[in-house]
Amino acid sequence: MLYLDHAASSPLRPEVWAAMEPFRLDVYGNPSGSHAISRSAKNALEDSRDLAASLINADPSEIVFTGGGSEADNLAIKGRAFAGSRRGAIVTSPTEHDAVLMSAEHCSSFGSVVSYAKVTADGLVDPAEVASHVSADTAVVSIMMGNNETGVRLPVEEVVTGVKAAHPAAIVHTDAVQGYVSERVDVDVLGVDLLSLAAHKFGGPKGVGLLYVRSGTPLVPLVHGGGQELGRRSGTHNVMAVVGMAAAMAALEEERGAFGARVMGERDAFESTLNELMPDLVVTGAGAPRMVQTAHVRIPGVRNEMLLVRLDRAGLAASAASACQSGAAAVSHVLEAMGMSPALARECLRFSFGWSTGEGEGARAARLVAGEAGALR
Amino acid sequence: MRALVAMSGGVDSSVAAALMKEQGWEVMGVTMKLWQGPDGEAPTAGCCTVSDAEDARRVAARLDIPYYVWDYTEEFMSGVVGGFIDDYLTGRTPNPCVECNRTIKFSRLLAHADALDYDVVVTGHYARVTSDGGRYRLWRGVDPDKDQSYVLSMLGQDQLARLCFPVGDLTKDQTRSMADRLGLRTARKPDSQDICFVGQGNYREFLAGQGVAPTQGPIIHQDGRLLGVHHGITNFTIGQRRGLGVAVGQPLYVTDIDPDAGVVTVGDRSDLGVDEVTVEEMSWVDRPVAGALLAQYRAHGRAAPAEVSLEDGVAIVRFAESQEALARGQTLALYLDDEVVGGGIIRATA
């Protein structure tokens, strides 16, 4: 089995499971309680928070654990839009994850004005153009770090600089769910005020994520209740998952350099081998900086749904990157925003690499893809 | 041998998949996403819904077969829905299920099955295929209440060679009890009704939603009297009695629609009679057949005895007894007893 769908989800790292396992049965207390059993859960929770914070150069009080990346994005957008007495405006781009786009749309039905920065054919935004949409009414600017479909790395740092030069008080969010897999995140280097992560994209468990919230950033919670996470996200913690998330971050940082080199090596070998075998191959975002783990390609004349079935049968898991609720491959809003026609978008596939990708898998996968795609031509 | 089963999420195609698997085929399930809302998502009510796909997915998992949802929304929109709207705009009565079978299920899906090295495409239609000296023959399903051979009447030898309808040998009750016995969650799911993309609303609302702007015109009696004004010919089909918006003290029926002049003609029930129809786009299961046949012009209607003659690819069908409410655009299927010999589209009535 060749698993090249890490951008959808990565397998759990063994060392992460080792860290989580005691919480399966032994550490069961509610971290909000006062007795010894609760205290051990609370300690594990706060140790995990300290660890996660240190790995992105944040203060522990700036970490809000959530039920995943989508919740973190929702909290960033809605939490900001509803924070003032008026519905704040939102500035984003059409290639963002649906968790951002749908949140913005939801806020717009409550009065938020949403503006969208243009995207180039390579999937990039122009920082100056993003800044031009910002005003005193802007509650949040949200531009992702790396695109989950195409793998394009967006100029978040320049967006922050541009936005803050014009409006020093503006708040900038980045969805770093994929970007963090590709490179280390330092919230001060990026300059963002809000940043979303999801554990299962880099070997942590599913259903847990975090939102970094820069100290002093007003935010309205989505979930009200017992006041956990300093009132920013109520609900009893999933301690086991949080421990797993911090352990996965630590595992990723520990091998960061090697991870990047290995994953990019396999990705590059995949693309170059496939390109040799299929000279008309088109790599999406080829003219833009890209994350190390993603190959998004178009194979002219081959319908992605058909190729995915053949690859599935041959033991290679990849994806068309964007699926509708029913499970059909949808024409991607990302590719549409980059100016690609639906017919061409239906020829695109995403192959994403990760921590469990072994040496030689990239070239092996490319030969398999070329064979199966060739059978469809 | 590999079989691709088109799974709608209903009980018939669920059992079709189970039967193929039982017979030892390597089976794959596919749900064709044909229709979507303006947000690009599958609808939540009517046919082709997210929950239908979910049912199909769960049945496939129970049968331990691979399962996919494929998107045919663009082809469906341009071919089937476009034709449906055109038919109403030109005063015809469309049959979108036949059109979907012709242009999507038994052409696109069949081609995709070929591309993936599948030997046959399987559906849950109630009809039977037999082979006889290398020629394929198409028959009504054994359950007369559920027979769906009418919507398959445009199939030819090339297609029949690669199609299986395993529930055609069962009654609906047998299908349901088999699904029950296998523990398939679709065992008691009600049969789908209506036209899938129109859903529970009526087709007039659907047309309005598709931007079909109605134009007013006269309603005229067969005898020449002007009876009133209508608000668009798309509101009418031949044989319609309700909602005419005119009252003359006796029941009136739509007897003709003239799309160019925008005129709707109404008359008494006796004016509805049709003795002869001209059928175009004829397709034959094996070879052209003329003479004394049975002609069926509704999916679940009765087949009427008729004399069929062929002229330049057009079939002239002369009914033994006058038929009511036949309309241009409807599919007409021809039978010899229980065997389908061909089908086409009614282009003229007399």
Confidence of residue B178 (pLDDT cuts 50, 70, 90): very high
Q: Which of B31, B40, B53 is opposite residue A330, by nearest beta carbon?
A: B40
Using a CB-CB distance cutoff of 8 angstroms, which residues of chain A are in contact with residue B115?
306, 375-376
Whether B306 has a pLDDT exceeding 90, the answer reads yes
Distance CA B67, CA B30 (A): 6
pLDDT at B191: 83
Q: Say which residue the tokens 């994005």 belong to.
A: A73
Closest CA to B85 of B209, B264, B255, B194: B209
Rg (CA), chain A: 21
Contact A305 B70 (CB under 8 A): yes
Kindly give, in sequence order, each residue whose CB lies less than 8 Å from that of residue A281, ignoring residues fewer than 6 positions away: A271, A274, A275, A297, A298, A299
Phi–psi pair at A53, nearest 5 degrees? -60, -45
* A336 to chain B, closest Cα gap in Å: 13
Amino acid at A71: E
Q: Of all helices (H) and strands (E), which one includes residue B190?
A: none
Q: Which two tokens stand for residue B148?
A: 């769906």
Q: What percent of chain A has pLDDT over 70?
A: 99
pLDDT at B40: 58
Whether B45 has a pLDDT exceeding 60, the answer reads no
* B51 to chain A, closest Cα gap in Å: 8
Contact A324 B115 (CB under 8 A): no
Q: Which residues of B303-319 are buried (b: 16+ CB within 10 A; e: fewer)?
A: bbebebeeeeeebbbeb
Give the pLDDT confidence of B252-298 residue by residue, as tens digits.
999 999 988 899 999 988 888 899 999 999 999 999 999 999 999 99
Distance CA B207, CA B209 (A): 5
DSSP helix/strand/coil, B136: strand
Using a CB-CB distance cutoff of 8 angstroms, which residues of chain B are in contact with residue A331?
40
Q: What is the number of residues in chain B?
A: 350
DSSP conformation letters of B250-296: S--EEEEEETTTTEEEEE-GGGGEEEEEEEEEEEESSS---EEEEEE
Using a CB-CB distance cutoff of 8 angstroms, which residues of chain A are in contact with residue B49?
326
Closest CA to B31 of B66, B64, B2: B66
Question: What are the 10-residue block averages of pLDDT along chain A, 377 residues in total?
Answer: 96 98 92 93 97 98 98 98 91 97 97 97 97 96 97 98 96 98 98 98 98 97 96 96 98 96 98 98 96 98 95 96 72 93 94 97 98 95
Average model confidence (pLDDT) across chain B: 91
Q: Which of B57, B74, B116 is opposite residue A309, by nearest beta carbon?
A: B116
Distance CA A332, CA A16 (A): 33
Average model confidence (pLDDT) across chain A: 96
Distance CA A15, CA A217 (A): 34
Confidence of residue B200 (pLDDT cuts 50, 70, 90): low
Closest CA to A341 of A328, A351, A332: A332
Closest CA to B72 of A329, A333, A340, A336: A329
**Touching check for A25 and chain B: CB below 8 Å?**
no
B48 part of the active site? no
pTM of the model: 0.89
Kindly give, in sequence order, each residue whose CB lies less than 8 Å from that of residue A173, ignoring residues fewer than 6 positions away: A73, A76, A77, A80, A140, A141, A142, A143, A192, A193, A194, A195, A196
Give the pLDDT confidence of B213-242 residue by residue, as tens digits.
888 999 999 888 999 999 889 888 888 888
Using a CB-CB distance cutoff of 8 angstroms, which residues of chain A are in contact with residue B53?
326-328
Contact B116 A310 (CB under 8 A): yes
Name the E strands within chain B. Answer: 2-6, 26-33, 67-71, 120-122, 127-132, 135-140, 163-164, 217-221, 226-230, 253-258, 263-267, 273-284, 291-296, 304-311, 314-324, 331-336, 339-349
Query: Mean pLDDT, to the nearest integer, of B142-153?
Result: 95
Contact B74 A342 (CB under 8 A): yes
Amino acid at A366: A
Q: Is the ipTM of this complex over 0.90?
A: no
Chain centroid offset of residue B200 CA: 17
DSSP conformation letters of B43-92: PSSSSS-HHHHHHHHHHHHHHT--EEEEE-HHHIIIIIIHHHHHHHHTT-
Distance CA A357, CA A317 (A): 12
Distance CA A171, CA A289 (A): 25
**Dihedral sign computed on CA atoms, order A46, A51, A55, A59:** positive
Whether B342 has a pLDDT exceeding 90, the answer reads yes
DSSP conformation letters of A130-195: HHHT--TTEEEEE--SB-TTT-BBP-HHHHHHHHHHH-TT--EEEE-TTHHHHS---HHHH--SEE
Active site positions of A, annotated: 324
